[in-house]
Chains A and B, each alone.
Chain A
Amino acid sequence: MDKDIAPQPVPEQASASVESPIVEELLVEEISIDGMCGVY
Chain B
Amino acid sequence: MTVTLESACELHPQVAIRPEPFGALAYHYGNRRLVFLRHPDIVRVVKTMGEHPTLRDTFVAEGVAESRWPSFIEALSSLTTSEIIRVLS
> Chain A interface (Cβ within 8 Å of chain B)?
1-5, 7-8, 11, 16, 21-33
Chain A contact residues, majority secondary structure: loop
If A33-B27, A33-B32 touch, whether A26 touches B67 (CB-CB below 8 Å) is: no
Closest chain B residue to A5 by CB distance? B65
> Chain B interface (Cβ within 8 Å of chain A)?
27, 32-39, 41-42, 63, 65-68, 70-72, 74-75, 78-79, 82
Whether A28 pairs with B79 at a CB distance below 8 angstroms is: yes
Whether B67 pairs with A16 at a CB distance below 8 angstroms is: yes
Whether B32 pairs with A28 at a CB distance below 8 angstroms is: no
A7 to B37, CA, bound (A): 16
